Structure 1
Amino acid sequence: MEPTELLADTGARIRASVPLAELTTFRVGGPATVAECATTDALVATVRALDAAGVPVLLLAGGSNLLISDDGFDGVVVTIRGDGIRLTENSVIAEAGAVWDTVVAATVEAGFGGLECLSGIPGSAGATPVQNVGAYGVEVAELIERVRLLDRASGEIRWVDPHELGFGYRTSVLKHRDDAVVLAVEYALRADGSSAPLRYGEVAKVLDAAEGQSRPSADVRRTVLRVRAGKGMVLDPIDHDTWSAGSFFTNPVVADAAVERVRAAITAHVGDVTVPTYPATGGVKFSAGWLIERAGFGKGFPGADAVARLSTKHTLALTNRGAASCADLVSLARTVRDGVAERFEIRLEPEPVTVGVRL
């Protein structure tokens, strides 16, 4: 049965042979059939119908954390567009398709605090619990009150408490499985309008605050947006440094037993230098950006003529300069990953979800 017929009663709008490059911030990805779901009811009905018919499904909202094959997707891409935002006395409930920065802005404009350090992050609210979105010392795992999920196996819809989601650094139990669909998320807010405690030195310094202090959420939001823009981390259609998935590699956590070996490898390659590290459960977290630069991959690598290269503002971002394919970005990612591993004995792991490709 054709998708148009199969999904006739779901409320979804069906489009055939859509270039997925149009739907991702990397602006790469081959064609697929797309079912656009403007409401949560349409989303639930569409996923249930496709699952019952055994049709492969790719869920897509903001498209900011996806690297999709040039071959596209052999199934139906279900786009999540439900964008409702509802404020309560001390929280905000956002439907999965709500633009994340719109959610943050709404809370700050209403006089609340808590989410401001996460300003400017592209993507949707529904993606935030999947990868435990975080920036400038704040992770959504600290703020999520509950998540509304569709269980694709049972068809059940229920609110789930955070302890069931297995949050970790840039991950959760939802990240590498597809048996649940995020429908909505509720986040706790600070009713007095103060920000979350400032833990990121650059932001705290601009605001003349000691780390751990708070400032008005509106002031923190403005500062974070300015800092992110300076690193090419706020979407701008005319700036190719923002044609990316943000930070492509996560900061690696090295097990305690391997830390001295890694430090020795760094010293052997770059000399006796101060290495930025951070405490982490079960080990030590190293800065991926620092490792990439010290391994010889500077901003703009491999050069101005390359269709895929590192951002000219931020070495953690792989960027499409306007004509890159998925294959071009994969090749660059492998070069950087393998170069860091060869020099420092640390294997960087990608943050974006890959579809139809493997690094």
Structure 2
Amino acid sequence: MRLADLCTLRVGGEARRFLLSTLRDELIQAIAQADAAREPLLFLGGGSNLVPVDGEFPGLVLRDGREDVRVLTLQEFSELRAGWEQPSQGREPDTELHPDASRGIRDAAAVVAKAQQFAAATPSCVFLSVSGGLAWDRLVEFCVTQELSGLEALSGIPGVVGAAPVQNIGAYGGEVADCLLGVTAWDRQECRLVYLSAADLRFGYRDSLLKQSRLQVEANFGTPQFAPARPGTNPATGRWIVLEVDFALQRGGGTPVRYAQLAGALGVPMGTVVSAAQIRTAVLELRHSKGMVLDPDDHDTWSVGSFFTNPILPVEAAAALELPENAPRWEAALPGRAGEVGVKLSAAWLIEHSGITKGFALPGAGAGVSTKHVLALTNRGNATAVDIQALASHIIAAVQGAYGVPLVPEPVIL
């Protein structure tokens, strides 16, 4: 199986081994066997956040084929998670990555309490438990057709449900963290199923404990141990592999519009409560206009969406840049600094004003900047992974040279 056939960038070589399974036990067994054999593992979702290698992936590529959605009452949800309230067996969880990780791993009391609080504040609430392999937009479409609100601003985002919490996907004023209660995951270090509540996932802007564990995985291990990765290692898959995700949503009602561009598209003031169906329609139209909805006939959508995250800098560092008044900026929490506020800059603005235009391409390369949106790097039809990475490096250097701001790629680059 070629990774090019599994990823939205349509680049990448063969996988040495590939398995698609609709059985949770089979998925877990395949993960455990690969780890025990020290075989590189790529747990692949929708392939929409990955820049593969052009050569062979020297291990197992594993895909979750389950697509179940369970709609639950508060009592049903509480009973479903009651089994997680018993103390964990085996050795104590490693809390080096996050001092509160053990609390989420040992029990699910926090998530049940959060569900109860949500139900008290929102009498029309509904709880969902969703298999990780379901396409994300199919979940959003299902919710909107069932008049469940909370996820509609995330319409049209490619990928699968299990991958959504890893980078805390977000768009148009919403993030997956807004509605997520917790995840059931396989812990590769503890070799067991665990439950992690939203509080323990340490969500941030396009970040989570799950993502950080990917950046801290040793490439070759017997019993997996997660520590800062050595240079040159392959951070394909992190410590926790998400198998199911729990959400709390509202039936009926609507959602306040929290993004200026979306408010403009809807023709309403910011903060107006709009139905989930209206928001979904407007978001899909906006994403289509930017080439951010997958279309096999549109090479601008042969991408991973936004390739770079918006930089968040300390207030003093942002002020020292002396950016012009028209440069977009917003207050935002500083990553890794609880309670500290920084300044979020627009990666798109920085790219455009460093001389990179829509449609830009390096000479002779098959990759180019989208003709609709400078944040998307695209496969114009014959690109290689090397072409994509060369273009990304050129853009990073251009922004660094013009403004001294380092851009950080959003996708996993193997």
Q: TM-score, normalised by structure 2?
A: 0.77
1:5 alignment partner in structure 2: none
1:51 alignment partner in structure 2: 35
* Cα distance, 1:76–1:296 mapped onto 2, change above 3 Å: same
Q: CA deviation at 1:305?
A: 6.9
CA distance in 1, matches of 2:36, 2:200: 26
**Deviation sequence 1:256-290 (CA, Å, 0-9, x none):** 1211221x2x4xxxxx4411111112310000001
CA distance in 2, matches of 1:92, 1:227: 27
Q: CA deviation at 1:150?
A: 0.9
Match of 2:242 among 182, 198, 207: 182
Kindly tell me the number of residue pairs found equivalent between the two proteins: 330
CA distance in 1, matches of 2:64, 2:356: 36
**Deviation sequence 1:36-87 (CA, Å, 0-9, x none):** 1222222112112222222221110100000011123111111122111122
CA distance in 2, matches of 1:69, 1:193: 46
Q: CA deviation at 1:156?
A: 1.9
Match of 1:108 among 144, 147, 153: 144
CA distance in 1, matches of 2:177, 2:148: 18
**Deviation sequence 1:283-311 (CA, Å, 0-9, x none):** 10000001100111010012797511100
SS at structure 1 position matched to 2:274: coil
1:7 alignment partner in structure 2: none
CA distance in 2, matches of 1:274, 1:319: 28
**Deviation sequence 1:60-115 (CA, Å, 0-9, x none):** 01000000111231111111221111222412221111000000000110111110
CA distance in 1, matches of 2:142, 2:58: 37
Q: CA deviation at 1:213?
A: 2.1
CA contact under 8 A between 2:19 and 2:62: conserved in structure 1?
yes
**Pairing 1:23–2:6 present:** yes
**Pairing 1:191–2:251 present:** yes
CA distance in 2, matches of 1:303, 1:68: 20
**Pairing 1:38–2:98 present:** no
**Deviation sequence 1:152-171 (CA, Å, 0-9, x none):** 12222132111111111101
CA contact under 8 A between 2:12 and 2:384: conserved in structure 1?
yes
CA distance in 2, matches of 1:186, 1:70: 36
1:274 alignment partner in structure 2: 326
Q: TM-score, normalised by structure 1?
A: 0.89
CA distance in 2, matches of 1:315, 1:25: 17
CA distance in 1, matches of 2:157, 2:127: 19
**AA in 2 matched with 1:221:** R
CA distance in 2, matches of 1:120, 1:334: 28
Aligned runs of 1:1-359 on 2, under 5 Å?
18-32=1-15, 33-89=17-73, 90-176=126-212, 177=214, 178-195=238-255, 197-262=256-321, 264=322, 266=323, 272-281=324-333, 282-302=341-361, 306-355=365-414
- Alpha-carbon RMSD: 1.4
**AA in 2 matched with 1:92:** L
CA contact under 8 A between 2:10 and 2:379: conserved in structure 1?
yes
CA distance in 2, matches of 1:91, 1:208: 31
Q: Which runs of 5+ in 2 are unaligned?
A: 74-125, 215-237, 334-340
**AA in 2 matched with 1:275:** A
CA distance in 1, matches of 2:392, 2:261: 28
CA contact under 8 A between 1:37 and 1:43: conserved in structure 2?
yes
CA distance in 1, matches of 2:65, 2:261: 34
SS at structure 1 position matched to 2:271: coil
Q: Which runs of 5+ in 1 are unaligned?
A: 1-17, 267-271
CA contact under 8 A between 1:81 and 1:98: conserved in structure 2?
yes
Q: Which moved more, 1:64-73 or 1:242-251?
A: 64-73
**AA in 2 matched with 1:133:** I
2:220 alignment partner in structure 1: none
Runs of 4 or more consecutive aligned structure 1 residues displaced over 6 Å after TM superposition: none
**Deviation sequence 1:302-347 (CA, Å, 0-9, x none):** 2797511100000000000110000000010001011001000100
